[in-house]
A and B are shown apart, each in its own frame.
Chain A
Amino acid sequence: MRNTFAKTIYQIALKDKNVVLLSGDIGNKMFDQFKKDCPKQFINCGIAEANMMSVAAGMALCNLRPIIYTITPFTTIRCLEQIKIGVAYHKAPVVIVGTGSGLSYSELGPTHHSLDDIAILKTVPEINILAPSDSIELEKFLREAVKSELPTYIRIGKKGEPNLHSLANNIAIGKANFLKEGKDFIILGIGPILSEALEAANLLNKHGLDVAVASMGSVRPLDSNFLIKIKNQKFNKWITLEEHYSNGGLGSTIMEWIFQQKLSNKVELTKLGVPNTFINELGNQKYIRRKLGIDSEGIKNKILSI
């Protein structure tokens, strides 16, 4: 995904001289072409994310379109107040990109895990919270976010994630899309972990279950039209899936939505995510997902137990 980010932002910046890329001293070589062809539009702000966030807000107030890029925990909760005041309160159209979200950097330990960013940014008004599941969704979101008048946070993975969307999907900010149709259960997810959901759906086929999988794309805005549509399609067993703490993320958001819509007696919701603990037993992303029961096998077993 990060290569798609680098490629897309380069294409955007070539055409729009107001687009400025601010990096928190990461992306070694990734932005070489960008720096070569758009030297005035790239600033390495150093390992100083709080300042970088307010600098971006000041730039946006002078009609630039700053894109901030660094590792997720450092561009979210580390500089939360700068996001709240500089970006959100000023409604400064800054695009904040967090790379290596969720457990993408699982081996780097809890300092580099980002399992709380959505929950925390949900408390900040005005800012959209996007979590594309693949490079196709990311590219569409990024192009739209750069034109938006609202601040945007985009939570992405690292590299090598498979494409899950068909190009025919109508991808836009605030629009959910089916990655696989089905009828017995529906998995509503965000982020690259949806590849595990698709694998789980395949495994469940052998058990005679036809499971639908959808990418919500964003937590704010939440595509409530899509949720109403699946309710009307008689899906009554919903599973949310996210590489984020189970509290405060997509699952919690949909749970609140169900409550507000007075659908609690019509929809049975199961939240799949990461329990609210620090992960001390490190391993690669695949290993940790398996330990936490959010890999394809874990998702399959969970659904069989419902």
Chain B
Amino acid sequence: MYNKLNLISISLRKKIINTSARCNIPHLGSCLSCIDILVYLYWEELKLFIKDSTNMSRDRFVLSKGHGAPALFQVLAEKEFFDRKLLEEFGEPGSVFHEHPPKPGLIAGIEAATGSLGHGFSMALGMALAEKINSLNFYTYALISDGECNEGTIWEAAMLAASNKVNKLTAIIDFNKWQATGRSKEIMALEPLDEKWRSFGWHVIEINGHDFNEMKIAFETCKSVENKPSIIIAHTIKGKGISFMEDDNNWHYRIPNQEELNLAIKELENIS
């Protein structure tokens, strides 16, 4: 049913890997684990005003795991928030396209500067509260990472969102089971992640974060939840889509060499 989205995901995976190799941009594993979620959000879920990207009624999406920016930039270019040609400057001195999203206004479609973990989620809560206070009629989404749940502000925001019954806020966890230097459940006591969020007053849905059909049901359910915020725990695979990158945390920082690049692109071409 989602053939078109699958093709878009494959095409964007290629672009992300090419850009990483060409511009020495790390966090490939993290970008590949969340690209399917971003594709679903931007093609199926978010209310967008692409040519009027500051329209007050737009849905807000905050990439709280800011190191996923190379994936988000490809998504925004594909949706024509800006001319794809601009991405040719990626990583060049003086370019606005680097490793993390800059403040809004520099790249159309970016809602918040992130990269220091634990900030974007709270900012998204602020946006959702503003919506509630002034009945602005939009939904707010924040993509966080499992490693990001180490940050105390995630849990501060979780409690405030629940006490204020901010039901038009949806968080998605890109739960790829890794953080920079190790397994996320070993570095801090992350598990049981679903019970943690439930006990913090959130509606919790667990899905396969690479399955668009499951995403559809999950996002629809979030919109029907009353009086509480929702979180989608998306089980993902770091480096998803490239056999030799999948679940190998070396690809948190590694940049593919020419041979690896060729292999990766070939694998993606074989699927499509």
Instruction: Using CB atoms and an 8 Å cutoff, list the residues of chain A in contact with chain B.
Output: 17-18, 20, 40-41, 43, 45-46, 48, 50-51, 53-64, 66, 81-82, 85-86, 89-91
* In the complex, per-residue mask of B133-145: 1 if CB is within 8 Å of any chain A CB, else 0: 1101000000000
**Closest CB of chain B to A58's CB: distance in Å?**
2
| A-chain residues with CB within 8 Å of residue B130 when the two chains form the complex | 58-59, 62-64
Given A55-B129, A90-B103, the answer on whether A61 and B112 have CB atoms closer than 8 Å is yes
Q: Is the CB of B159 within 8 A of A64?
A: no
**Closest CB of chain B to A186's CB: distance in Å?**
41
Q: Complex Cα distance A61/B159, Å? A: 22
User: Quick one: which of B104, B122, B133 contacts A54, CB cutoff 8 A?
Assistant: B122
Q: Complex Cα distance A46/B122, Å? A: 14
| A-chain residues with CB within 8 Å of residue B91 when the two chains form the complex | none
Q: Is the CB of A48 within 8 A of B159?
A: yes
Q: Complex Cα distance A50/B157, Å? A: 9
State the interface size on chain B (CB cutoff 8 A): 30
Q: Complex Cα distance A99/B60, Å? A: 33
| A-chain residues with CB within 8 Å of residue B133 when the two chains form the complex | 20, 40-41, 59, 64
User: Quick one: which of B103, B125, B129 contacts A89, CB cutoff 8 A?
Assistant: B103
Q: Complex Cα distance A17/B122, Å? A: 22
Q: Is the CB of A61 within 8 A of B116?
A: no
Q: Counting chain B CB atoms within 10 Å of each CB, which of A46, A51, A60 scores highest? A: A51
Could you list 6 examples of A-B contacts with CB < 8 Å?
A: A54-B126, A55-B125, A55-B160, A89-B103, A89-B113, A91-B103
User: Quick one: which of A20, A45, A55, A81 contacts B116, CB cutoff 8 A?
Assistant: A81
> Is B127 on the interface with A (CB-CB < 8 A)?
yes
| A-chain residues with CB within 8 Å of residue B113 when the two chains form the complex | 85, 89-90
Instruction: Using CB atoms and an 8 Å cutoff, list the residues of chain B in contact with chain A.
Output: 56, 60, 103-104, 111-113, 116, 119, 122-131, 133-134, 136, 152-153, 156-157, 159-160, 163-164
| B-chain residues with CB within 8 Å of residue A81 when the two chains form the complex | 116, 119
Q: Is the CB of A51 within 8 A of B136?
A: no
Provide the main secondary structure of the chain A interface.
helix
Q: Complex Cα distance A91/B60, Å? A: 18
**Closest CB of chain A to B2's CB: distance in Å?**
31
Q: Complex Cα distance A17/B60, Å? A: 22
Q: Is the CB of A59 within 8 A of B159?
A: no
Provide the main secondary structure of the chain B interface.
helix
Q: Complex Cα distance A17/B159, Å? A: 25
Q: Is the CB of A62 within 8 A of B126?
A: yes
Q: Is the CB of B126 within 8 A of A56?
A: yes
Q: Counting chain A CB atoms within 10 Å of each CB, which of B60, B116, B152, B156 scores highest? A: B156
Q: Complex Cα distance A60/B156, Å? A: 19
| B-chain residues with CB within 8 Å of residue A91 when the two chains form the complex | 103
Q: Is the CB of A86 within 8 A of B104?
A: no
Q: Complex Cα distance A89/B113, Å? A: 8
Q: Complex Cα distance A299/B102, Å? A: 48
Given A45-B160, A89-B113, the answer on whether A61 and B119 have CB atoms closer than 8 Å is no
User: Please, which residue of chain A has its CB at the minimum distance from the CB of B159?
Assistant: A46
| B-chain residues with CB within 8 Å of residue A54 when the two chains form the complex | 119, 122-123, 125-126, 153, 157
User: Please, which residue of chain A has its CB at the minimum distance from the CB of B157?
Assistant: A51
List 20 other contacts, CB 8 Å, given A40-B133, A51-B153, A58-B130: A46-B160, A50-B153, A51-B160, A54-B123, A54-B125, A55-B122, A55-B160, A56-B126, A57-B123, A58-B124, A58-B126, A59-B129, A60-B126, A62-B126, A62-B131, A63-B56, A64-B134, A85-B113, A89-B113, A90-B113
| A-chain residues with CB within 8 Å of residue B163 when the two chains form the complex | 46
Q: Is the CB of A61 within 8 A of B156?
A: no
Given A61-B111, A81-B116, A85-B116, the answer on whether A90 and B122 have CB atoms closer than 8 Å is no
